[in-house]
Structure 1
């Protein structure tokens, strides 16, 4: 099983949007038995809460399920469980690297490295900007590219 963890600050906007979108892409590709996806936040601000209302709205319009998703904080065990840690911005990347447990086999890559259509280094945080549509466009492109990379890297 290949495991991917998307990481943002509070785990109610960007990373759950990426988790749900990626899970939808994986299901449509018939790879649910080979790739598992989750999301977490570097902070514990919203622990236990569902995705932000705007995130749920965007996902609902796209007919993507977010059922059962609840915010959680990154844990030390995530370094053991996941093959890919995908932070949504440079701050999340720094926070993960400060948290990092020594594991050579885990791939830590900024989400925007999978988005060729933008020169930005960060997925903007819609919690502050309010631009959930822009974030969804970036996430859609990034998830498609990441899934293709995973399929190539693992011969799926």
Structure 2
């Protein structure tokens, strides 16, 4: 079976999307889906390419015992629209940028992250690079990633 490929995307790929990548990878492993799901992250901009996650993201993930080993910022490429099954935008501006970068007709489904957690009543995950509130973002990311794991488990059971 081909792995289901998920890509989280924010602006610079050092705060929100690598946090979501690390948390989702941790949740996927805990759910026993590590062999069925591949996860990565990217930014719409290229300012931080090659750099590790932001110190605030690293400290938060360390506190929660979640690995970010080997993670480095990368930039979204047009080909990602065909390489991934699901591209998850951290905010509405990222979603617009993703859609224009991958072009119409790309294979990947593009969604905004917080559509996974509508009970939060928010559309966009705030950028802690500007707000400094990494804990708030973690709570949103945790909620959305848990829902996404459930969505993938449901899809898997529908394939049987």
Q: TM-score, normalised by structure 1?
A: 0.96
Structure 1 residue 154: deviation in Å? Answer: 2.8
Partner residue of 2:110? 108
For structure 1, which segment, 26-35 or 4-13, has the greater mean C-alpha deviation from structure 2 after superposition? Answer: 26-35
The number of residue pairs the alignment matches comes to: 156
Partner of 1:36: 38
* Residue number in structure 2 paired with 1:74: 76
4+ aligned runs moved over 4 Å, structure 1: none
Task: Kindly state the Cα deviation for residue 104 of structure 1 after the two structures are TM-superposed.
Answer: 5.7
**What are structure 1's unaligned runs of at least 5 residues?**
none
Match of 2:142 in 1: 140
- Let me know the Cα RMSD of the aligned residues: 1.2
Alignment of 1:1-156 (within 5 A): 1-103=3-105, 105-155=107-157
Deviates more, 1:109-118 or 1:123-132: 109-118
Q: Where does structure 2 lack aligned partners over 5 or more consecutive residues?
A: none
C-alpha deviation, 1:29, in angstroms: 0.9
Range with bigger deviation, 104-113 or 58-67: 104-113
